[in-house]
Amino acid sequence: GENVEQHPSTLSVQEGDSAVIKCTYSDSASNYFPWYKQELGKGPQLIIDIRSNVGEKKDQRIAVTLNKTAKHFSLHITETQPEDSAVYFCAARTPLDSNYQLIWGAGTKLIIKP
C-alpha cells in the first residue's frame, strides 16, 4: 500500500523567510496530494491540494509542486508570518485503494521566529 514520508519533523524559520516542507510517496498510482494545516487546539484544515496532472499550484503565499517521476511533492510558503506557525500534514491518495483513504505524513511543526 501507499506510504508517505514527510520531512522535516520540525522547521524553524525567521519571519519573512520562506519555508519548504517535503513529502515522498511510494505508490506511483497516487493522483491526489492535499496539504492540511493544524493550528494549536484545532483540527486540520485543507490549505492547498494538487492533482497528478498538474506540476505546480499557487495560492497567494503558498504553493505546491509535484514531481511524479521522483514521487515527491513539496509545500512552499513565502514571506512567512507568525500566523503560519502550525503543524502541516501532507497526504496522498491512490484511486486503486479500495479504502478510498488518504495516507498521511507524520507532520511538520513550523515555527516562525519573530
Partner 1 sequence: EAQVTQNPRYLITVTGKKLTVTCSQNMNHEYMSWYRQDPGLGLRQIYYSMNVEVTDKGDVPEGYKVSRKEKRNFPLILESPSPNQTSLYFCASSFSGTVNYEQYFGPGTRLTVT
| Distance between CA atoms of residues 82 and 17, nearest Å | 11
The span from the CA of 3 to the CA of 21, in Å, is 17
Judge whether 85 and 111 are in contact, CB under 8 Å.
yes
**Smallest distance, Å, CB 64 to partner 1?**
14
- Which residues between 50 and 89 bind partner 1 (CB under 8 A)? 51, 89
Q: How many CB atoms lie within 10 A of CB 66?
A: 20
**Burial state string for 7-25 with b = 16 or more CB within 10 A and e = fewer than 16:** beeebebeeeeebbbbbbb
Report, in Å, the least distance between residue 62 CB and partner 1: 15
Q: How far is the CB of 106 from partner 1 (least distance, A)?
A: 4
49 counts as binding partner 1 under rule CB under 8 A: yes
Q: Which stretch binds partner 1 (CB under 8 A): 12-20, 38-46, 60-68, 70-78?
A: 38-46
Residue numbers at the binding site for partner 1 (CB under 8 A): 6, 9, 32, 34, 41-46, 49, 51, 89, 93, 99-102, 104-107
